[in-house]
Amino acid sequence: LTGGNANLPNFCERLANDLRKLAPTNYSIRIYFPDNPVTYAWQGARRLATTQSFQDKYYIGKAEWEEHRIRNDTGVIWNNLEKSVDNGLVGIW
């Protein structure tokens, strides 16, 4: 579970009960409750962003950033960036 709502009283137990009602009886229900559910998703994203394979696929250098952007009054808009940018994930180094 992640996010602040996971800290609500009995949230984990209520979710497990609701899932148990929906899942086939031969399925086990396991819910992981991290030490800090508020920052858990961010910690996972941070860990992913530090992997070399993620950086190779999604990070771009400053020169490529400068080459493929245009400016307007509201900020920066991408202009035909050829590197694969799935789901809007781009890192700058």
Mean pLDDT in runs of 10 for the chain (93 residues)?
94 94 93 94 93 89 76 56 48 45
Q: Report pLDDT for 83.
A: 46
pTM of the model: 0.54
Q: Report pLDDT for 34.
A: 93
Q: Is residue 59 helix, strand or coil?
A: strand
> Any alpha helices (H) in the chain, and if so which ranges?
11-22, 40-49, 52-58, 62-67
Q: Report pLDDT for 61.
A: 81
